Each structure stands twice: as structure tokens, then as C-alpha cells.
Structure 1
Amino acid sequence: MQDLYLNWIDGAWAEGGAGRMTVENPGTGQALAEQALADAADVDRAVTAARRVHESGVLTALRPVERGRMVRAMGAWLLDHHEDLARLLTLEQGKALWEARNEIRNAARYFEYYGNQAETLEGRQIPLGAGYMDFTVLEPYGVSAQIIPWNFPMEIAARSIAAGIATGNACVVKTSEMTPLTSHAFGLAAKAAGLPPGAVNVLTGWGHEAGAALASHPGVNQIVFTGSVGTGSAIAQAAARNIVPCVLELGGKSAAIVHADADLDAFLGDVRRGIFMNAGQICSAMSRIVVHRAVHDDLVERIAGLARSIDVGPGIDRDAPLKGMGAMASGPQLDRALALTARAEAEGARLVTGGRRLNIPGHFMDPTVLAGVDPASEIGQTEVFGPVVSVMAFEDEAEAIAIANGTDYGLVAGVFTRDLDRATRAAGRLRAGQVFVNEWFAGGVETPFGGYGKSGYGREKGREALWNYVQTKNVAIRLR
């Protein structure tokens, strides 16, 4: 680990015009390292470098298989440095070390997947009758601006960089100021893979300065953002002024419907991954459990027992998969989760377990279970982004669907039942971009991901994500 981390602009490390900031270790509350902060001028330099790469045609002139090999090589570099990156990620973000290792592997997998997809994108021939030849060509937008959150800084950046480069775009990545350190790896990986200077640029800066400058820059052709609804709305407005398309992934308040015939023992494993992994700081977290009244009390006690069994403390010391839970990413994030929990209890929800700050250095919250939650209450509607699960009872299938669909979000949902007909009916009626049946987080990098409603628009992951990075050109030829 270094004492100072810089920005990666046009193939070289660079200081930032906005000075430096101290990055905190949320597992101890102590300073970890310094990070150079980019300002609007640094953003302009990065966009200019990316624009030069695009306009030179150096990426699009390659055969797609050659571009794909470079993308795959970036993933291979991450795997070669897997352990060091995982430890750094744990120290700056707070998650358990076993989770950080998984994140680095998943980041590498995106580069593998999209590297393999690079040569599969093809246009089509359109018959217009005798005397005409008509066909379509898929072309990159040019400069892809990618604004990355702090909860999965490596994995989320990887999925957009890999798709962007595979389709021939040059990328300017703005990391979160809370978790900037590990992201320096993408500059090193791009250089090792032989990508030209300026093809991948990685900046850290304040959202109101560097983020706003990037979202509104006239040299940007496409924007990918993951984060809050408020910030996503501001980015969409800035992009609209330049008529620039966006992909927005803005979180959720996702529900798992548990029927009386569900395998409750297996479901506990889904709860462990769905809400207590990464201290609940997951856009697609299982933040609501909507359970049939016949098994409600039994399941609440099982979930409470699971929550009490989780070993909470500094992530760097928690290496056993599915056992320990690390810190929340910051003090304000912890304070917000605690406040939402306290207000829920005051409004009538029953605090079954947790709901408190651990009395140790760092930003730790006990895994928390709330029962008797009113679906229309603040806790029933608001994304906590913490290790807090709300349990709600239902009587029949229609009520369960209504509760699950009863928020402004629509990112993911789940159905747990042995009845395939019931699960299929629910999948068709749930208002969510992805529906899990009998396993939360089923799928992988191959499956499209994105939301309905205020969870955003556009898709990431899977082949569907590639269409966000290309535009269709039609060529019509009159034959003589």
C-alpha cells in the first residue's frame, strides 16, 4: 500500500487540481492513505485524452478479437494481483476479506466475459429488393463517462470499463472519494494489457466538482452511473442538456416473497447473502422479506438467530466465507441506518435483534431484524443501505405481490416456493428488472441487470449491456 495515490490520466499518474484528501479505514476509523483529487480541469484533460483515442480510430481499427484480448488481459492482471487488491479493498471499504476476494474475482470475470463478447457484435443485412444493398453497422459512442459508487468499487467499475473497451469506446472513470485506492489498479491493468494512453482514465474527485464536470462535459458521448436517485436525476439532467444517453442504476427496496411451502433452512442462506453481506450495502439487497403468516413467527426467529450468529468486526480479520461481517463504509452511513431503525421502532415496528452501534473503533452495526413492519412506513419504503431487514406478513398471493410492488423502486425481487406455477405467476407480475426464484442473487455476469421505476433505466451485465455502448448506423446502397 502507498502513502499517496494519484489520478491516471492519458497513460500517466497525475496530481489533482483540487488538492488531496485523507481516505479513512472504516474498520478502525483511522487514516489509511492520501488521494489526489481531480478538479474540472483534470476532468477536461482526461476527456480530451479519451476523445483523441476515439477520433484516432486506434481502438476501432483493431479486429474485435484483438480488442477482446486486451480486455481479457486486464482481467488477468487483476487476478495476478488478487491478494494485494483484496486486502486494500477491505481496508478502504470495510467489507470482510472473504468478500473482497470475491469482488476482485468478479471484477476479473467481467473482463473475461466482455473480452469474449467483443467479436460477437454484428450488424445485419436488410432486404430492400432488387437494386439495393442495405446493412447496419454497430459503432461505439466514443467517450464513455463512468461514475462509480463506493459499495462495490472494483466490480462495478470493471463491468462498465470492460463493456466500454470491448465495444471500442474510450473510458473516463470517476471513482467514489470514499473508496478510490483500489481503482488505481485499472490504470495499471490497462497499461499492462497494451491499451493506448487515454483509452482508460481513472479520476477521483468530489461529486459536486469532478463528477458534475464529467457528467456535463460536451466531449462525453455516453454516461454510466450507479448511485442514489437524487444524484442520478442530476446526472440525467446534465446529460440531457448535451443530448447524451445514460445508463442509470439507482438502487432499490427489494422484496423476497416467502410462501408457506418454501424451504426455510435453505432460505436462511439467501438471507445471509442477501442482506448481511457487505453490511447490507448492496443495491439489490434483500431488504424486505414478505412472508406467509403461517410461517411468519418461525421465520422471524430463524432470521434473528442467523443475525446474532454473525461475527462483526474489522473486515481484514474476517476471512471465513459467510461467517463474518465487516464495517459500514462511513460514519454518516452508519448514523443513517441507525436513525432509520430507531424511527421504525418508534413508529411501531418490533426490533427483534440488533439496531445498535458496536462499542469498538470503526463504523460497525449489529445485524438488525425488524418485524411487524408496515409496508407503507418509512422503513418499508426507504433504502437503508445497511444490515437491516424488515419482515412483513401476508395472507394470500395477491397481497404478497402488492406489497412487493408497493415502492417507487423495481430493481430485483424474489419468490421462494416449491410450486413452480406460483413462482411463474409471480415472476410475471413482479415489477422488477430481475426476479430470483428460490435463490437470491441467482445468475452471474451473463444475466442482464437493471431496474424499473426509480431503480433507473438501461441494463448492465449480460449481452444486453453492450447495446448501451454502441449506436446503430444504417448504410443504404443503390446498386447500378
Structure 2
Amino acid sequence: MTKSQRATCCPAAAFPLQIWWLTISIGKNYIGGQWVVGGAGELAVTDPATGALIQHQALADAADVDAAVGAARALVNSRALSGLRPVERGRMVRRMGEFLLLHCDEIARLLSRESGKPLWEAVIEVEGSARYFEYYGNQAETVEGRSIPLGDDYFDFTVHEPMGISAQVIPWNYPLEMTARSLSAALATGNACIIKSPELDPLSCAYYALAAEYAGLPAGAVNVLCGHGHHAGAALVAHPGINQVVFTGSVQTGIAIGQAAAANVVPCVLELGGKSAAIVRTDADLDNLIGNIRWGIFFNAGQVCSAMSRVIAHADVYDRVVEAAAGLASQISTGPGIEREQMGLNMGALVSLGQRDRAQGMVTEAARQGARVVAGGVASEQGAFLTPTVLAGVEPSMNIAQDEVFGPVLSVIKAHDDVQALAIANGTDYGLVAGVFSRDISASMGLARDLRAGQVFINEWFAGGVETPFGGYGKSGYGREKGREALWNYVQTKNIAVRI
């Protein structure tokens, strides 16, 4: 998502969901076109802002995973999706995005309650999700092979075929948008998909099953399961019947998933987080920087893999950056997300009390190591809230400068020149995104060249969009999502050589 996206909902749905249909679907699993309960019981999904129960969610077990793989395999074998003319498949994919926009308001309200994010942020996520289906629906008929000249005696050409079954393990920070990112590209290229929704906020993912039905996709093309990672998730990624895995989450879990998939020689796309840095040179527009800090670290309560978690400021502007960032943080209010309909200086809850306590614990440890808390760092007595936090005096060796917080915590680090700033920026195990703030485009481009990150923003954090490839270096994972590059995750190339 970008800060330029609209924060207004679409018009009232022309095709409103019937209440009885919504009642039987939200909170259940969806396998082969049928709503089913899970074999592992159920869990209570609560609002992290208030602790109030929203809905019980059925939990899948290994048998449910088997059933989903069977339904997906039947779809693959039938060629009911992969055998379509690509433009027809693309139209179905685009209609899934249309469904999301038609039901934007109700989806956003459910998402806001289960994830804790402000309602206006939830609207942005729904609209951003719809954009993926629009983009990849339009890309469906552009995946073309090529002919290879071998002389007059041969006709040789390539075709791109779907991988088959794509298993997609979704993170809780953007349950709708991260699903859309992988699901749209996989369907556009003719794959069957099994979505493992996040346990903390799984409810809104049910709308993808409803969207698939609205779009006319055949049964088995979209399957949605919720289950614990160590149970349903582990059974899915290690299943011998799947053909590809997409995962976004922690490094430790990503390593475990990669190992499980490798046992079956199944390729993975892994996005494993970051500790992203913005280098601020002496000639930077500081007003622009502060505006970007608001979006870079305090949007979604900092629960963003590509968050601007470190600002590396030149010594000449360091104090001004710290003061301005602290001033910004002090202006941002916190409260229940469902009450915050208007875009502004507000922030919702973190996704859970555990996530809040982890983030606050890292702030406390940073202070113990010598950092100064110049704003925020206070957890609420009720609800999973942590006030927007700015830390000054952070040294590159501190844990807070090396480890991902996944919360609204900004570390400001001092550098004396570009060489030192670059070394600090590259001095972690991660390499997801990075940024440079400077009026000198030549210096910025030189830093962009040397930054070890899969995406570099210059003068605007989160620049780009669905069209631009995204993925990491180092322990931020491998593979690329978004843009045309993502299409190649879901196809394999076959060469056909004909002796004439």
C-alpha cells in the first residue's frame, strides 16, 4: 500500500451478501467449494483493542489439509482453470477484486475489529487487495512462450505451465493484502490454491472464498483453511501433493518451511521480514522525511515487514530529526480501530497482547543498553496498545538496531558521512527495503546501488506499487512478489522441439 491510496470506501454493494450466507461462512473453512468445520476444534477470535469476542473460527487438522489438497488436485487434473483461454481466466481474477470493492465496507469493519488497525487503514487494505486482482487479471494473457531457431529441420518453442497446487501461508499483519498478493498471481496463471489463514485474524480471509464463487471460479481453485502453524501449517507445507509454497513471516518459521518443502523438492517464495533503514543526508528535506516517518513506522502500528524501523541521520541534522520525530510521535493518538474512520494522526492496537509486550520489552531492553526513549514506549493497561515510540542514542550494535520489533518503534542512529551510514544500513542480517532522503540525486543513486536491499526508496517510503517487484536479500528471504516477476513463481517452462 502507499500513502497516496484512497481512504474512502467504495459505494454501497450492488450485490449485497445475504445475512444467512454470511453467517454460515465466516468462521468456517472452505474446501472444494464447501464450507466445513475443522477437525482440530475452534479458537476464539477477539478484538485486540477491547478483548471482546468477535467470532469462533474452525481449526483445520491434517485430515482437512488432505481434503484441501485432494480438492485442489482434482481441479488441476480437470484443467477446468488452466485449460481456459487466459483472457477468460483473467476476467475471473478481476471479478474477485470487483467483489472486494463491492463489499468494501463490511470487509473493512471485520478486518479492523480482528486486527486492531484503524478502520481507514482497513479500507486501504481492502482496496489494495482489490488492486492485485485487477493487475494480475490483466496480466493473465501476457504470459507467453517464445520460439527458438534451430535451423530449417526443427521447430522449437517454449510454453509456461502452471506449477499445480500453490500452498500459501499468510501472515497476520495484512491478512487480506498478503493473501491477494499471492492468490491473484497464482490464479491468473492457472494454479489451484490453498490458503492457510493466520490464527490471530483469520475471519476476513473467508471473503476470498465468497469472491471466488462470485467470480465463477471452479470448485477447488480457492481453498481457505485456518489452523495452528505447528499443526495445519506444518501439514500443508510438508504435504507431498503440493507443488509450491509461498510464505511471509519470521526467519525461524521460514527456515522450517523451506526445509519441509525441500524434503519433497518443492520450491518456495519466502519473505522473512526486515530491519529497514532510511539514510538521511544533510541536504534532505526534513519536512518530507517526517511525513514519511509517519507512514514508514507508525502505519499499521509498525507491523510491516518493510517498515522504516531505523533512521540513520547525518550528525549535522541528527538532533533536528530526533526532535521532529518525537514531536510527530507525541501527536499520534491511539484507540480502538473501529472508531477511527478518518485518516489522520491516529493508530490502532497491535494485533495481540503478546505482540505488544514483545515490542515494549525490546524498548525496555534498548533503554537498559543505553538508548534514550524520547517519545512513547508506554503500554496501555487495557488493550494491545503501545504509544508511538522514538529512541535516540541508538548504537548499531544494540539489539534494537539489529532485531525486528514489528511494532511502532523508531530507532534514530547517528552517522558522520555516507560511508558510515551505508555500513550501518547494511550491517544487519536483513535486506528487504532501504531508503535515502537527499536532494542530491547522484549521491542518492550511488547509495541505492550499494544498499543491500531488494527495493530502495528515494525521498518517499513505500513508493512503487503492485507493479514493482518486491523481495529481500540475506535473511529477508528469496523470490520476488509483485510486478511481472511474481508471475514466474507460479509457472514452469517446458520446451517442445519438433523435427520437421
Moved over 3 A (4+): 1-4
1:279–1:328 contact (8 Å) kept in structure 2: yes
Give the SS at the match of 2:176: helix
Point out the more displaced range, 26-35 or 247-256: 26-35
AA partner of residue 400 (structure 2): I
Aligned partner of 1:395 in structure 2 is 416
* Residue 331 of structure 2 is aligned to residue 309 of structure 1: yes
* Residue 490 of structure 2 is aligned to residue 475 of structure 1: no
Query: Equivalents in 1 of 2:150, 2:431: separation in Å?
Result: 41
For residue 357 of structure 2, the aligned residue among 335, 354, 371 is 335
For residue 296 of structure 1, the aligned residue among 314, 318, 324 is 318
Aligned partner of 2:114 in structure 1 is 92
Aligned partner of 1:447 in structure 2 is 468
Query: Equivalents in 2 of 1:322, 1:171: separation in Å?
Result: 37
Query: Equivalents in 2 of 1:234, 1:422: separation in Å?
Result: 40
1:94–1:314 contact (8 Å) kept in structure 2: yes
Residue 2 of structure 1 deviates from its aligned partner by 4.7
AA partner of residue 371 (structure 1): A
Give the SS at the match of 1:363: coil
Q: In the TM superposition, what whole-angstrom CA distance separates every residue of 1:307-328 from its partner, at most 9, and x where no partner exists?
A: 0000111011112213210000
Pairwise mapping of residues 146-295 of structure 1 onto structure 2 (< 5 A)? 146-295=168-317
Query: Equivalents in 1 of 2:61, 2:438: separation in Å?
Result: 52
Query: Equivalents in 2 of 1:60, 1:42: separation in Å?
Result: 24
Give the SS at the match of 2:444: helix
AA partner of residue 399 (structure 1): Q
Residue 24 of structure 1 deviates from its aligned partner by 1.1
Residue 156 of structure 1 deviates from its aligned partner by 0.4
Aligned partner of 1:413 in structure 2 is 434
Give the SS at the match of 2:252: helix
Query: Equivalents in 2 of 1:322, 1:98: separation in Å?
Result: 9
Aligned partner of 2:147 in structure 1 is 125
* Residue 45 of structure 2 is aligned to residue 7 of structure 1: no
Point out the more displaced range, 185-194 or 124-133: 124-133
| TM score, norm. by length of structure 1 | 0.99
1:272–1:322 contact (8 Å) kept in structure 2: no
Query: Equivalents in 1 of 2:135, 2:101: separation in Å?
Result: 14
Give the SS at the match of 1:183: helix
Give the SS at the match of 1:60: coil
1:247–1:457 contact (8 Å) kept in structure 2: yes
1:50–1:170 contact (8 Å) kept in structure 2: yes
Give the SS at the match of 1:251: coil
Aligned partner of 1:368 in structure 2 is 389
Query: Equivalents in 1 of 2:137, 2:457: separation in Å?
Result: 27
Q: In the TM superposition, what whole-angstrom CA distance separates every residue of 1:431-479 from its partner, at most 9, and x where no partner exists?
A: 0000000000000000000000000000110000000000000011111
Q: In the TM superposition, what whole-angstrom CA distance separates every residue of 1:287-318 from its partner, at most 9, and x where no partner exists?
A: 00000100100110000000000011101111
Query: Equivalents in 2 of 1:269, 1:113: separation in Å?
Result: 28
1:2–1:33 contact (8 Å) kept in structure 2: no
Give the SS at the match of 2:266: coil
Residue 208 of structure 1 deviates from its aligned partner by 0.5
Residue 19 of structure 1 deviates from its aligned partner by 0.5
Q: In the TM superposition, what whole-angstrom CA distance separates every residue of 1:178-201 from its partner, at most 9, and x where no partner exists?
A: 011000000000011000011000
1:273–1:322 contact (8 Å) kept in structure 2: no
For residue 41 of structure 1, the aligned residue among 63, 68, 88 is 63
Query: Equivalents in 2 of 1:58, 1:225: separation in Å?
Result: 26
Point out the more displaced range, 75-84 or 21-30: 21-30
How many equivalent pairs are there?
478
Give the SS at the match of 1:322: coil
AA partner of residue 433 (structure 1): G
Query: Equivalents in 2 of 1:231, 1:477: separation in Å?
Result: 45
Point out where structure 1 has 5 or more consecutive residues left out of the alignment. none
Residue 274 of structure 1 deviates from its aligned partner by 0.4
1:410–1:451 contact (8 Å) kept in structure 2: yes
AA partner of residue 188 (structure 1): L
Query: Equivalents in 1 of 2:116, 2:151: separation in Å?
Result: 62
Residue 358 of structure 1 deviates from its aligned partner by 2.0
Residue 356 of structure 1 deviates from its aligned partner by 1.1
Aligned partner of 1:62 in structure 2 is 84
| TM score, norm. by length of structure 2 | 0.95
Query: Equivalents in 2 of 1:478, 1:267: separation in Å?
Result: 62
Aligned partner of 1:101 in structure 2 is 123
Point out where structure 2 has 5 or more consecutive residues left out of the alignment. 1-21
Query: Equivalents in 1 of 2:333, 2:341: separation in Å?
Result: 11
Give the SS at the match of 1:182: helix
AA partner of residue 390 (structure 1): S
Give the SS at the match of 2:316: helix
Aligned partner of 1:77 in structure 2 is 99
Aligned partner of 1:438 in structure 2 is 459
Query: Equivalents in 1 of 2:452, 2:81: separation in Å?
Result: 39
